[in-house]
Amino acid sequence: MDKENARRQTLEQLHERRKQVVRLYKKGVGVMQIVAMTGLSYPAVRSCVDLFDAGGWPAIRPALRGRIRGAGRILSAIQEGTIQRTIIDNRPEQLKMDFFLWSRAAVAQLIEQEYGIKLHVRSVGSGALAANCDRIRGEGAAPT
């Protein structure tokens, strides 16, 4: 049997597979036999058995995957909203900046002026600040 990639399974499917592994282990089936029967890798089977031994049935329920939305942000949601509103309502030259149109560098400079936070130009383009990029361009902007 080919090995299956557990990262491609839903959390519910993964939980069912872990329950299957534990049931087989409780029946006395060896770990290598479980690997052969289920198609899971040895580390996956072993970690499932160890989790069960340490915490019982609740311990084998898989946790949510990935980062929490918004984790690691430098600006708060209120600060982002303020910056977005400023960008939508004004052009850089109205704010006495050396730019004619809003660019990543212009937004980074605005953030530094307003909040004293120096962001790399690449950081400005990703995230919520880029969500309004079509509405941000000033009048007479060159088409992209």
Q: Are residues 87 and 112 in the same domain?
A: yes
Could you give the angle at which helices 104-115 and 77-89 cross, rounded to 10 degrees? 120
Q: Is 35 inside any structural domain?
A: yes
Amino acid letter for position 134: D
84 and 122 share one domain = yes
pLDDT at position 88 is: 92
123 and 135 Cβ atoms separated by less than 8 Å: no
Confidence band (pLDDT; 50, 70, 90) for 125? confident
Cα(12)–Cα(5) distance, integer angstroms: 14
Tell me, yes or no, whether 67 lies in a domain.
no
DSSP state of 72: T
What pLDDT is attached to residue 136?
A: 45
81 and 132 inside one domain:
yes
CA distance 88 to 16: 50
55 and 93 together in one domain? no
DSSP 30: -
User: The domain containing residue 129 runs over which residues?
Assistant: 77-136
81 and 50 co-located in one domain? no
* Tens digit of each residue's pLDDT (9 = 90 or more) over 53-64: 999 999 999 988
Residue 94 in any domain: the answer is yes
Closest CA to 114 of 93, 135, 84, 89: 84
Is residue 99 in a domain? Answer: yes
Residue 10, SS3?
coil
Q: What is the mean pLDDT of residues 27-50?
A: 92
- Residue 84 and residue 52 in one domain: no
Considering the domain architecture, whether residues 127 and 87 belong to the same structural domain is answered as: yes
Number of domains in the chain: 2
Residue 48 shares a structural domain with residue 84:
no
8 Å CB contact between 92 and 100: yes
Q: Which of 25-34, 37-46, 131-140 has the lowest mean pLDDT?
A: 131-140
Distance CA 47, CA 16 (A): 15
pTM over 0.75: no
| Same domain for 96 and 56 | no
Single-letter code of the amino acid located at 142: A
